[in-house]
Chains A and B, each alone.
Chain A
Amino acid sequence: MKLMWFHLMPYTELPDDFRDQHPSVWVDIHSSLFDPRRAHLMYNDFMDELEYAAECGFDAVCVNEHHSNGYGLMPSPNLIASALARRTSDVGLCVMGNSLALYNPPTRVAEEFAMIDVISGGRLIAGFPVGTPMDTCFAYGQNPSTLRERYYEAHDLVLRAWTEPDTFAWNGRFNQQRYVNIWPRPVQKPHPPIWIPGGGSVETWRWCAEMDHVYAYLSYFGYLAGQATMDGFWKEMDRLGKDRNPYRAGFLQFVGVAESRDEAYRLYREPAEYFYGRCLHVDPRFANAPGYTSEATQRAGVVGQVAQVARMRRFDTLAREMDAIVEKGYVIIGSPDEVAERLKQVATDLNVGHLMLLMQFGNMSKDLAKYNTQLFAGKVMPQLTDMFSEWEDRWWPQPMARDARATLTPFQPPAMAAGVSP
Chain B
Amino acid sequence: MSAGTIVREPEALSVEINGFACRVWRKGEGPKLGFLAGFGGLPRWIPLLDALARERTLVVPSLPGFPGGDRGHTVLDSHLDWVLAVRQLLQRAGLDGADLAGSSVGGSFAAEVAAIWPNAVRRLALVAPWGLFDEKEPMTDPWAQRAPEVPALLCADPERWNELKTEPEGANAPEWPIEQVRANEAAARAFWPLGNTRIEKRLPLIQAPTLLIRGAEDRIMPRSYADRFASAIAGRTEVRTIPGAGHLAELDKPDEVAAAILAWTR
Q: Are A and B bound to each other? A: yes
Which A residues are within 8 Å of any B CB, using their own CB? 27, 137-138, 141, 143-146, 173-174, 283-286, 289-291, 295, 298-299, 301
Contact A174 B185 (CB under 8 A): no
**In chain B, residues 43-85, which have Cβ atoms closer than 8 Å to a Cβ of chain A?**
71, 73-74, 77
A18 to chain B, nearest CB (A): 19
Cβ contact within 8 Å between B192 and A145: yes
Check A290–B77 contact: CB distance below 8 A.
no
The 4 closest A-B CB pairs, nearest first, are: A291-B185, A290-B184, A145-B189, A290-B185
Contact call B73/A299, Cβ cutoff below 8 A? no
Chain A residue numbers with a CB within 8 Å of B145 are 285
Does B203 make an interface contact (CB < 8 A)? Answer: no
B188:A291 contact, CB within 8 angstroms: yes
> A27 contacts which chain B residues (CB < 8 A)?
144
Is B260 interfacial (CB 8 A cutoff)? no
CB distance from B176 to the nearest CB of A (A): 12
Q: Is B174 an interface residue (CB 8 A)?
A: yes
Chain A, interface SS category: loop
Instruction: Name the distance in Å between A173's Cβ and chain B's nearest Cβ.
Output: 6
Q: Count the A-B residue pairs with Cβ separation under 8 angstroms: how many?
A: 58
Other-chain contact of A144, B71, B147, B177, B188 (Cβ < 8 Å): B188
- Is A145's CB under 8 angstroms from B178's CB? no
Contact B144 A138 (CB under 8 A): yes
**Least CB distance, B183 to chain A, in whole angstroms:** 8
B residues less than 8 Å from A144 (CB atoms): 143, 185, 188, 192
Q: Return A68 CB to nearest CB of chain B, in Å.
A: 13
Residues of B within 8 A of A301 (CB): 174
Q: Provide 28 A-B residue pairs closer than 8 Å at the C-beta atoms, listed in order of the A residue.
A: A27-B144, A137-B192, A141-B193, A143-B189, A143-B192, A144-B192, A145-B73, A145-B74, A145-B185, A145-B186, A145-B192, A146-B77, A283-B146, A284-B146, A284-B147, A285-B145, A286-B144, A289-B143, A289-B188, A290-B182, A290-B184, A290-B188, A291-B184, A295-B71, A295-B182, A298-B181, A299-B174, A299-B178
Alpha-carbon gap, A286 to B147, bound state (A):
11
Identify which of A146, A284, A295, A298 gathers the most chain B CB atoms within 10 Å of its CB: A295
Proximity bits, B134-154, A CB within 8 Å = 1, else 0: 000000000111110000000
A299, B185: Cα distance in complex, Å: 16
What residues on B are CB-neighbors of A289 within 8 Å?
Answer: 143-144, 188
Which residues of chain B have C-beta atoms less than 8 A from A291's C-beta? 181, 184-185, 188-189
Report how far A411 CA is from B150 CA in the complex, Å: 56
Residue of B nearest to A23 (CB): B146
Give CA–CA (A146, B75) in the complex, Å. Answer: 10
Separation in Å of the B136 CB from the closest CB of chain A? 19
**Chain A residues whose C-beta falls within 8 Å of the C-beta of B187 in the assembled complex:** 290
A145 in contact with B188 given A290-B181, A298-B178 (CB within 8 Å): yes
Residue of B whose beta carbon sits closest to that of A301:
B174
User: With a CB–CB cut-off of 8 A, which chain A residues contact B178?
Assistant: 295, 298-299
Nearest Cβ distance between residue A23 and chain B, in whole angstroms? 10
Q: In the complex, which residue of chain A has the Cβ closest to the Cβ of B144?
A: A285
- Asked, given contacts A144-B192, A291-B189, whether A173 binds B77 with beta carbons under 8 Å apart, the answer is yes
A174 to B78, CA, bound (A): 10
**Chain B positions within 8 Å of A283 at CB level:** 146
A265: min CB distance to chain B, Å = 35
* A143 partner residues in chain B, CB cutoff 8 A: 188-189, 192-193
